[in-house]
Amino acid sequence: MTSLSSQERTVIQTLLQLNYSVCAIARFIKRSPSTVSIEIHQVTPYKAEIAHALALKKRHLRGR
């Protein structure tokens, strides 16, 4: 699994604000709906900057 980029997270945040569904967002960024759903539920309410910082922290903890 490849992680989402900062730009993809910004797109997710924007499309959520425009009330797009998880499936529509996934199609737009060409990712699995489950990937988008998991990403959205990591941070509530969803903020791209916070989600990206959290992902980088988790990656660092895994030793990458």
Residue 10 confidence (pLDDT): 98
Residue 25 confidence (pLDDT): 98
Is residue 4 within 8 Å of 31, Cβ to Cβ?
Answer: yes
Q: How do residues 12-64 score in pLDDT, each as one tens digit? A: 999 999 999 999 999 999 999 999 999 999 999 999 999 999 999 988 887 65
Domain residue ranges in the chain: 6-59
32 vs 23: CA distance, rounded Å:
8
Q: Name residue, tokens 């993809």.
A: 8
27 vs 42: CA distance, rounded Å:
20
Residue 64 confidence (pLDDT): 55
Residue 32 confidence (pLDDT): 97
10, 11, 52, 63 from 7: Cα distances, Å? 5, 6, 10, 23
